[in-house]
Amino acid sequence: MSASLAARSWQPSSMFGGRWQRRTLLFAFAAYCVWSIGDLAIDHARVMRGFGRAADMLARMWPPDFSRWELLGRGMLESVQMAIASSVIGAVFCVPIALCAARNLAPAPVYVAARALIVVGRTFHEVIVAILFVKLFGFGAVAGMLTLAFSSAVFLAKMIAEDIENVRPGPVEAMRATGARFGQVVVFGIVPQVVVRALGVFIYRIDANLRHSTVIGIVGAGGIGQTLAASFTRYDYDFSAAILLCIAALVALGEWFSDHVRRRLR
């Protein structure tokens, strides 16, 4: 309060602890950078040749060849169908998983089992799951759809479970106090609190599935990705270019749709 104490200083507490800790960390990071760049053993000649090939490839890509538009269209349609069907299937299956994976609803063993399923499901990237499902169910859209449905269910369940864990407990307590059953507590006390965000996440997932559906085809799980992979192996770069342009357009469209709908939900 008094003027004689004007020289008191204050600093925000650092994220990395004390000064020496900070210096050690910085030094370690610098040392790592030096070692790692030295260890890369970049072969300049190879990189340069790569640039040359890229120029050649780009040249052969132009102009894009849309003459096989039927094949292209069929692939795109298959991808879109895969994305939509898998999103819907995923949305259905995510509900029970999400309820089981919410700490405030499920008993401990159920919770642990559901969380384990989610962790396992998210450990493996879509492409790895797709490889597995192609082995199980053969080449084609079925494997792709199952892949995306599985990863959508797990993804949506994780997001929704987290929302359920963050609901205001008061209304839930109020519903329990009226003598409502568990299902009714969920329908009246929890669903209204999470539904808007859940819809937003679902629409984001449709968008994500559109993108994923173009990729997993490369490992033989159907859709436009399979067509794209085939065109690359046959060096039909002009057809590849046409496919890439279409994928870009589709993804952009999906993103616009997703953005548009989610903005209106709020």
Partner 1 sequence: MEGGEAPLPGGAGEKRERLRVESLTKVYPTGKRALDGVDFTIREPGVVAVIGSSGAGKSTFIRCVNRLVEPTAGRILLDGVDLVGLDRAGLRAARRRIGMIFQEFNLVERLTVMENVLAGRLGHVGLVDTLRRRFAPADVDAAFDLLERVGLEGFHDRRADALSGGQRQRVGIARALIQRPDLLLVDEPTASLDPRTARQIMRLVRELAVERATPAIVNLHDVALAREFADRVVGFSAGRIVFDDAPVALDDSTLDRIYGGENWHAPPEDDPPSTSSGARPTTLDDAGA
Q: Which spans of this chain sit near partner 1 (rule: CB under 8 A)? A: 168, 170-171, 173-181, 183-184, 187-189, 192-193, 195-196
- Running DSSP on this structure, what letter comes out for residue 222? S
Task: Give, in order, the Cα–Cα distances in Å from 84 to each of 47, 91, 146, 201, 211.
Answer: 40, 11, 12, 14, 12
* Minimum separation from the CB atom of position 247 to partner 1 (A): 38
Nearest distance, CB of residue 264 and partner 1, angstroms: 16
Minimum CB–partner distance for residue 260 and partner 1 (Å):
22
Question: What dihedral angle (degrees, nearest 10) is formed by the CA atoms of 111, 113, 119, 121?
Answer: -120
Q: Is 119 exposed, middle or buried (0-12, 13-18, 19+ CB in 10 A)?
A: exposed
Amino acid identity of residue 256, one-letter, is W
Nearest distance in Å: CB 265, partner 1:
12
Question: Measured from the CB atom, is 105 or 243 closer to partner 1?
Answer: 105
Nearer CB in complex with partner 1: 78/163 = 163
CB of 185 to partner 1, least distance (A): 8
**Quick one: tokens of 180?**
């409502």
| Closer Cβ to partner 1, 98 or 190, answer by number | 190
Nearer to partner 1, 12 or 179 (CB): 179
Contact 61, 237 (CB under 8 A): yes
Task: Pick between residue 181 and residue 234 the one whose CB is nearest to partner 1.
Answer: 181
